[in-house]
Amino acid sequence: MKQRKGSLFVVSAPSGAGKTTLCWKLCDSLAGIKHSISYTTRSPRHGEINGVHYTFVDEDEFRSMITEGEFVEWAEVHGNFYGTSKKRIEDMTNEGCDVILDIDVHGARQIKEHSPDSVLIFVLPPSMEALKERLAGRKTDSEDVIKTRLRNAIGEIGEYKNYDYVIVNDSLDTALKELSSIVIAERVRISKMERDWIKENFLII
Ligand code: ADP
Ligand code: 5GP
């Protein structure tokens, strides 16, 4: 029997705050946590690999997955559809693996409703100026796309109150330590332990 079931960690942020960087660094540096690979109708960016960063599908396929009830949450973000596969995250948590979901504020709300013991983390940039610089510096989006993302940032940041933690991603090392600490603390929470594991191993003589 496993000591505990895996937990869900939801990370949201305005585009460019650095959440993708943080989530991947966390999975590289901490054992027992995996990134959830979302489905999206967005086109792949340079360097993005299908099945690694996202599963890229067309709108018809995405809509039929909605109809089939395959998503635990989905949303339209900056003009594209994004969704989290129910089966993918259940398979990981049932194996005792924690899962980190890099999803938008609407998706985060849906996950909290579906799994109230999920942990919601909001990532802020150090300033709006830094956000602009990071979006431009990433060199993956056109000026129009950057403008849309900056316009949407204010609405997204207003959602911070619905989260359990806020991390300001100024120094990447500090932000990563803070994110790791949240995950590690959650792993030893009594409510996340399998009570039967303690009973069978320690309380039955
Ligand atoms: P998001 O997933 O939130 O849209 P990214 O992870 O793609 O953001 O990061 C946006 C850009 O900012 C990338 O070029 C990334 O390398 C850079 N970046 C991330 N964190 C930091 C940081 N702490 N300091 C400076 N640049 C950062
Ligand atoms: P990007 O296009 O920059 O990769 O992501 C744009 C936004 O979509 C980000 O806020 C990201 O967190 C969000 N996103 C990525 N995958 C999902 C998902 O499966 N569901 C939801 N709701 N949002 C997602």
Residue (of 154, 183, 173, 131) closest to 11 by Cα position: 183
How many of the other CB atoms lie within 10 Å of CB of 36? Answer: 19
136 found inside a domain: yes
pLDDT tens sequence across 123-178: 999 999 999 999 999 998 899 999 999 999 999 999 999 999 999 999 999 999 99
21 found inside a domain: yes
Q: Whose CA is nearest to atom 12 of ligand 1?
A: 134
Say what the pTM is: 0.95
Kindly state the DSSP code that residue 139 receives in the 8-state scheme: -
155 found inside a domain: yes
Into how many domains does the chain fold?
Answer: 1
194 found inside a domain: yes
| Ligand that lies nearest to the alpha carbon of residue 156, given by its number in the listed order | 2
23 found inside a domain: yes
Residue 175: domain span: 8-36+98-203
Q: Are 108 and 162 in contact (CB under 8 A)?
A: yes
pLDDT tens sequence across 18-54: 999 999 999 999 999 999 999 999 999 999 999 999 9
Helix (H) or strand (E) holding 85: strand 80-85
56 found inside a domain: no
79 found inside a domain: no
How many whole angstroms separate alpha carbon 78 and alpha carbon 113? 23
Q: What is the CATH number of the domain that holds 29?
A: 3.40.50.300
Q: Which of 53, 134, 156, 173 to mutate to test the pocket of ligand 1 (most atoms within 8 A of CB)?
A: 134
Q: 40: buried, middle or exposed (CB in 10 Å: 19+, 13-18, 0-12)?
A: buried
| Ligand that lies nearest to the alpha carbon of residue 100, given by its number in the listed order | 2
121 found inside a domain: yes
